[in-house]
Structure 1
């Protein structure tokens, strides 16, 4: 019986639903950002060297990388039939060899070696030199693979590759396998459900009782800017957290971690959204633009380093929420009181603790959360800090109620004291729900979907409007 010809698989976008170069870049940014950026600048024009240098920094967990199920099944069936399955990639040799070992594929691999970038025609020449013309079948996913398909006996095309349409016309046997990505996956990566947090920009307008379109419209534009900025940073955060997300029971389904959306697409989307946020900021006013820049820089620092630092991460989360409030004041050009800023910060500290409590309660073991500085033994400490945040917020609200500014805006002070009751109920309830793991992973998003919680907040707000005389002003009496 004649020996079966080997099946040669491209790696990036074919066997894997991701790209090893971009995986290494983002893993390198997470581990050593300065060294990674320096390498990219130094070796940008020498791709083989760039890939080799990044591979040394990144140390990827190739066993966690998402594979194309159709291609993986083909490889498994081919091996079961006694056929050699070989990986051939423009990615670095060390990474490709490790990937082949993870999946029990042939020890013979074709890859870039730090000198030669094994792509397109160079890969075709290497395969022909080893297996001969038409001595192998090849699976690829891009137009750059055309020289290799020309030399293969059978062409396996993963996803939609317009350039491959001519192969069948020239008599080549073409097999199409599923691949590619969907725009819906990209929308999911933007986390539009998180945009509801930008209602925080409305707080200064509500607190100052400025209910007019001249104030509201720029704040709405500001909310659009912060939504774009947030989505831009969410993408960056997901790309920095690829390995941690893949180790997480639910975050492993995120678009980039699962390979549903290519990393390169995410990078382009992130740059576009950042430019949109900054453009809107510049169109509004300098103070709002400064708030957007501060938010994005702080968010980036959080993604790169601060989220891994115990307690610093919670303070940073609280700061990011507070920046939204300051931005709302800047966009609407309304004055925000110092009392308000001092009040909301401990509220957000408490909610930051609730976020970590929820994650730890839902964790399956006592190990530290992937990419975070906390483990389940830290739950009591987080509960204590959350309690301090709740107490601090309520105390500051009381002090505000008896201040000159409080008396000026809320003549019926006793109603503010009554409002402390539902306010305390809401805060304590959020902490308790986090302790028992009965929340979403983001407390702000949970709060804006929680019907009972929203009812409690409406009662609080109604009492504050009553104390300010707003109900009487609007409805008479």
Structure 2
């Protein structure tokens, strides 16, 4: 049934219209919203409340609502259900909200949408299924109300009401029709495509950093490359796991953002429960693949996930610490490539790439600040537009430091052994410097992506400079002659 027909059918009745909140009026669940909001602001209190009251749902909901009150005006709604409510109120019908969530939230939500009454859990009674049905029958009488719900648990309510409005639950709608009940269906639901979008597969390109140790050591055997590819898959799963966690922790902040409000969890396109299940699955895949590649790689993956989680919870809000953490997370990818392939990573290589990533971390913040519309600190960050000069200075220091370390590496025993034509290695400094300067310049003028690594791998001119650098390094190592013989 389309939305217009559903509205006309509902308005035609004169019975009170009662709406469930979680999954019906709302495209989210307020208990899970409180849980993730609490984890982001008061994690110890939140986990303590779950540990103490996980068997007592009514008490748990009340405690979490106190720890992390929600802005109900930001919660995503199901437009068709809201249209039913608005049409019923316009026709003079009483409209009530009946939810198993805590009254402190349900009352605010009902008031925000202009509803006449709210039924909810009160810290002692969990108003779900039979308890909800009993409360509504006590108020409106047997068969004295129409009810909108979204789950099999609502069958107890539909069976004692009159008209049934079913959101995204075809099986329950079929059962009700078989029993001869009048049913209005609203599609609701979510799609795997939206979940994939939340996993940000476009960010997986950053895991190409795992191949750097193989390139630096000139180990291009098929077995080695297959191990690195498996490592990339593990890191992709780990990264997506943390992206999902980050989005769940930032629900309210994302809803206040002009673009991030369209993210799958913030917009309600994907239920929080689905996101939590996907997070566990991706984490298990990452650690399972890590274990298959050996204890060293497993340790790096576990450290990456732990540090990423700490970044999401706290470190990204701390000035300069956030940039150092970003650089460390990028560097861990390189270490992971060495651990997966069994290639020894040079200490000089790690010392070289860390200031490169410091520069790129500063570029990320420069881009955000340049595109900001005011001098106020960025939401959830410790920087404002007045910090741009300091970020520029640190990015330049990182660039100079990286170039100096690269130059000094050419004089080491390992550098001379791997790159006999030392002067060509010095020539490679030119495109490296040009690339780094280009990245800083584009960040300063706000002309690149919010993620510099993703931007770098899509920037044609920048990729050209990196390929020139790589070609010169291969020439300095004598690899072109080894591969193509007389041509070189």
Instruction: Work out whether residues 166 and 172 of structure 2, in 8 Å CA contact, stay in contact via their aligned partners in 1.
Output: no
Identify if the C-alpha distance between structure 1 residues 196 and 240 changes in structure 2 by more than 3 Å, giving closer, same or farther. same
Counterpart Cα distance in 1 of 2:151 and 2:256: 30
Counterpart Cα distance in 1 of 2:56 and 2:332: 42
How far off is 1:6 after superposition? 1.8
| 1:160 counterpart residue number | 169
Q: Deviation digits for residues 61-120 of structure 1, max 9, x if unmatched?
A: 1111111111112212222222222111000110111112222222x2011110000000
Q: Deviation digits for residues 291-348 of structure 1, max 9, x if unmatched?
A: 0110011111111111111111111010000001001001100111111001111111
Segment of structure 1 superposing worse, 302-311 or 155-164: 155-164
1:326-337 paired onto structure 2 within 5 Å: 326-337=335-346
Aligned CA RMSD, in angstroms, stands at 1.3
Q: Deviation digits for residues 235-268 of structure 1, max 9, x if unmatched?
A: 1111001111111111111111111101111111
Counterpart Cα distance in 1 of 2:147 and 2:331: 54
Counterpart Cα distance in 1 of 2:380 and 2:126: 33
Matching of residue 41 in structure 1 with residue 54 in structure 2: no
Counterpart Cα distance in 2 of 1:290 and 1:118: 45
2:274 is aligned, of 245, 265, 269, to 265
Identify if the C-alpha distance between structure 1 residues 161 and 117 changes in structure 2 by more than 3 Å, giving closer, same or farther. farther
Indicate the SS of the match to 1:296.
Answer: helix
Matching of residue 222 in structure 1 with residue 211 in structure 2: no
2:180 is aligned, of 139, 147, 171, to 171
Q: Deviation digits for residues 433-468 of structure 1, max 9, x if unmatched?
A: 112222121111111111111111101111111111
| 2:25 counterpart residue number | 15
| 2:264 counterpart residue number | 255
1:71 is aligned, of 61, 67, 81, to 81
How far off is 1:215 after superposition? 1.4
Q: Deviation digits for residues 173-217 of structure 1, max 9, x if unmatched?
A: 110112010111111111111111110000000000011112111
Instruction: Work out whether residues 173 and 185 of structure 2, in 8 Å CA contact, stay in contact via their aligned partners in 1.
Output: no
Instruction: Work out whether residues 146 and 164 of structure 1, in 8 Å CA contact, stay in contact via their aligned partners in 2.
Output: no
| 1:52 counterpart residue number | 62
| 2:420 counterpart residue number | 411
Matching of residue 316 in structure 1 with residue 325 in structure 2: yes
Unpaired segments ≥5 residues, structure 2: 1-11
| 1:345 counterpart residue number | 354
| 1:425 counterpart residue number | 434
| 2:3 counterpart residue number | none
How far off is 1:226 after superposition? 0.5
How far off is 1:3 after superposition? 9.8
| 1:31 counterpart residue number | 41
1:116 is aligned, of 121, 125, 129, to 125
Runs of 4+ that moved beyond 6 A: none
TM-score by length of 1: 0.97
1:96-245 paired onto structure 2 within 5 Å: 96-106=106-116, 108-245=117-254
2:295 is aligned, of 278, 286, 302, to 286
TM-score by length of 2: 0.95
Identify if the C-alpha distance between structure 1 residues 34 and 268 changes in structure 2 by more than 3 Å, giving closer, same or farther. same
| 1:81 counterpart residue number | 91
How far off is 1:169 after superposition? 2.5
Identify if the C-alpha distance between structure 1 residues 137 and 385 changes in structure 2 by more than 3 Å, giving closer, same or farther. same
Counterpart Cα distance in 2 of 1:301 and 1:136: 49
How far off is 1:42 after superposition? 0.7
Aligned residue pair count: 475
Counterpart Cα distance in 2 of 1:428 and 1:101: 55
Counterpart Cα distance in 2 of 1:273 and 1:170: 41
Indicate the SS of the match to 1:153.
Answer: coil
Counterpart Cα distance in 1 of 2:321 and 2:453: 19
Counterpart Cα distance in 2 of 1:206 and 1:415: 17
Indicate the SS of the match to 1:109.
Answer: strand
Counterpart Cα distance in 2 of 1:167 and 1:366: 57
Counterpart Cα distance in 2 of 1:101 and 1:383: 49
